[in-house]
Amino acid sequence: MSDRILGVVLAGGLATRMGGSDKGLLQLGQQTILDEVLERFKPQVDDIVLNVNGDPSRFAAFGLPSIADSLGGYLGPLAGVLSALEYAREHRFDWVASVAADTPFFPIDFVSKSLGKAAELKAPVILASSFDYEKAKWMRHPTFGIWHVSLEGSLRDALQSGIRKIVIWTDSVGGSEIQFAHESSSLDPFFNVNTPEELVIAQQGAQ
């Protein structure tokens, strides 16, 4: 029997660099960024929830369950992952796969490759990475990961003790990474939209 995978789209950020608007609801061609994210994500997982803080009705049109951070104070993406792990345990999923709501070009084999890496290394968490040609090094993308449900208690303890940087905690629990290569001339598959200027770049990349 294969593992059941819950997908969570992390859409709970404050989007301060975009004037507080939900980045996933911005237009990308004929649809929103979140539409593109969901099209790529749905074939890779068994079910999807949205991690949304504030009024969830603004995402009602997508017809997906919404879960807020179970810990207050806007503690960052790790708090959204924790809420997804709690939901996954309650609904008998084995893994959570997380993606960001503002990253519309991530690989269509992100989950399968990450699970394969987790099995190979016997790791409870795998984060995606891609090569940054300007910095000349591989960079991890901590909102893109797969997380075993057994991590729930450890993650809650870490957040409550003040840890906010995802990679500090994932390294401490035996996590690893999987590399997704791309050409220097192409858009990074984990390119995310944080500013109006990056939205323009994403719109050009979607054409």
d(CA 176, CA 7) in angstroms, rounded, equals 19
Residue 164 Cα to chain centre, angstroms = 15
Q: What is the CATH number of the domain that holds 189?
A: 3.90.550.10
The answer on pLDDT for 15 being more than 80 is no
**Residues 151-203: tens digit of each pLDDT:** 999 999 999 999 888 899 999 999 999 999 999 989 999 999 988 888 888 88
In order, the DSSP letters of 134-187 are: TTTEEEEEEEEEEEEGGGHHHHHHHHHTT---HHHHHHHTT-EEEEE---TTS-
Q: Phi and psi for 130 in degrees, rounded to 5?
A: -140, 165
Helix, strand or coil for residue 61? helix
**Residues 177-189: tens digit of each pLDDT:** 999 999 998 999 9
**Residues 79-102: tens digit of each pLDDT:** 999 999 999 999 999 999 999 999
d(CA 205, CA 68) in angstroms, rounded, equals 31
The structural domain count of the chain equals: 1
Structural domain of 105: 5-205
Residue 17 Cα to chain centre, angstroms = 19
The answer on pLDDT for 206 being more than 90 is no
Range scoring the smallest mean pLDDT among 6-20, 70-84, 169-183: 6-20
